[in-house]
A and B are shown apart, each in its own frame.
Chain A
Amino acid sequence: MTEVIEKTEITEKAYLAEKRLNFGEFGKNRLAVSGLLLIAFLCILALFAPRIAPHDPLAQRLDSGLLFPSTEYPFGTDELGRCIFSRVIYGTRISLGIGLLVVAATSVAGTSLGLLSGYRGGLLDEVIMRVVDIVMAFPNIILALVIAGLLGPGFSSVVLALAFTQWPAYARLVRGQVLSLRKRAFVEAARALRPSSFYIMRKHILPNCMEPVIVLGTLEIAHVIIFASALSFLGLGIQAPDPEWGSMLKAGIPFLRTVSHLTFFPGLMIIFTVFAFNFAGDGLRDSLGQPADQEVLAR
């Protein structure tokens, strides 16, 4: 709200003090912090890929195919002579891009539907929740495969396929939160002011159910990146020559016995990325709902 920002008396410090994600607790968790650092590192790779990568990831040099790692090609080259190091770095852009895009889309959509479902209740709630049940009843990867298969391979179909399978988790989570928040006195007090239901959802309910959504989102990024790689690996995702880790793995399979660096480095990147988001997400989840001075509050 703009009027909140306009008030000069509000100090930033106080705003930060009440974040219920307890960052002090988070900071003590070494795995979580290292996950966060790794994410920061990956973000830098993605943002500055053109500066960091020594070669054009798409440039083929057939005379220097399947080279082992060297100073010029730190991770070696593939069968078409493309620099694997550069391709892995550019691959960060695609994987993080898909992860962020899918999580952004699904969290917004899932949260809004969960809010509506929980706050309005009744028939709307029934309909939304049954749809959620139906989508969740299918194994995610199979559903994504079907959708990606129907839409044809490519970046947008990966995003759509994954988004379609992932939103129900947010809707369920948020609905549960809303149901418990709705009974709290401050929501009733807000209702006594007789604003629109949209206002109550936006001002009073949404801000109080954001933390679990953030945690879920962080963990989901890891999920989504694995799924996207799997789709690409199966040939339904990002297509060659675009440097996606999953499709790089697939392209490296025929050479697995002889020149394993083709599959080793993309595989390593997938593992690192997934670990990073999982650790950070776990750390966030553990720090959630732990008031800093529990003892003092309980007194």
Chain B
Amino acid sequence: MALLKVEGLKKYYYSGLFKKEIHRAVDGISFEIGRGKTLGLVGKSGCGKSTLGRTVLRLLEPTAGRVLFDGQDISGFKGSALKNLGTKMQIIFQNPESCLNPRMKVYDAIAEPLRLHRLCERDEERGRIQELIEAVSLSEELLFRYPGELSGGQLQRVAIARVLGMKPEFIVADEPTSMLDPLVQAQVLSLLKKLQTEYGISFLFISHDMQVVEWMSDEIAFMEEGKIVGFR
């Protein structure tokens, strides 16, 4: 059974007085992602692919449609069930420079989800973070720096380590490498692939770069103006 099943998902924005204009950012999209698989999502900028990623995670409330995660409809989740979902479904963002709180040290940024969800005892925290930054091959000395002192590639690794701490089953990667230089892009992409095989994570990999998506994905969906126009 698929880990994630999306059925007829819609996200509309209404603008103008009296709901005159409807912008159909996501317009009835359905797909499935199996465990440990990657679905690549390709489309031009402004086609609604980022909105789709956020709606799947319920960071945006869908206008209509269902998202089944592990067989359960997450659209009705509230309170602790929703909070619990936070550890299982995660997201990595495009712009590494804004994806970490500039006022939080790298250590705290990685520790935040662990603390928030009480994923480990206080005395185990240090060791757990050590494991995490080793998993994304960052050096320990960066732990007590602020995000402003790190390069784009390093920041993206920290963002990955932070998400990885929750042992998520599904990650939306929203153009994680489009702002990175080619050498760094290659590093981050192969890191994601390595982690996928190690931890069995499923990805929804959003990008506008066909070659990157081809390299990352098991299946590719093409998106245009809120709709999926084809799979491959």
Contacts and interface: CB of A to CB of B under 8 A. Distances in A.
Given A14-B145, A193-B113, A194-B83, A188 B91 contact: yes
B20 interface: no
A282 B92 CA distance: 39
A14 B105 CA distance: 9
Interface string B116-153: 11000010000000000000000000011110110000
Interface in A167-223: 184-186, 188-195, 199, 203-204, 207-208
Interface string B57-99: 1010000000000000000000000110110011101110011
Interface in B148-179: 148-149, 159, 162, 166
B101 A18 contact: no
A188 B100 CA distance: 10
A295 interface: no
Contacts of B54: 188
A3 interface: yes
Contact of A192 (B59, B101, B108): B59
A8 to B, nearest CB: 11
Nearest to B159: A189
B91 A208 contact: no
Given A7-B107, A11-B144, A194-B83, A186 B112 contact: no
A291 to B, nearest CB: 8
B144 A14 contact: yes
A95 B222 CA distance: 67
Interface residues of A, number: 27
Given A189-B91, A193-B112, A18 B146 contact: yes
A10 interface: yes
A185 B82 CA distance: 20
Given A14-B146, A18-B148, A208-B102, A4 B108 contact: yes
A63 interface: no
Contacts of A190: 101, 112
Interface in A108-156: none
A4 B108 CA distance: 8
B115 interface: yes
Contacts of A9: 107, 143-144
Contact of B98 (A7, A186, A194, A291): A186
Provide the main secondary structure of the chain A interface: helix
Contact of B91 (A3, A10, A18, A192): A192
B19 interface: no
A229 B104 CA distance: 42
A193 B117 contact: yes
A23 B108 CA distance: 25
A298 interface: no
Nearest to A10: B144
B57 A192 contact: yes
Contact of B105 (A10, A188, A203, A291): A10
A189 B86 CA distance: 10
A161 to B, nearest CB: 35
Contacts of A4: 108
Interface of A: 3-4, 7, 9-11, 14, 17-18, 20, 184-186, 188-195, 199, 203-204, 207-208, 291
Given A11-B144, A192-B59, 8 more contacts: A7-B107, A10-B105, A20-B102, A185-B95, A193-B113, A194-B82, A194-B83, A208-B102
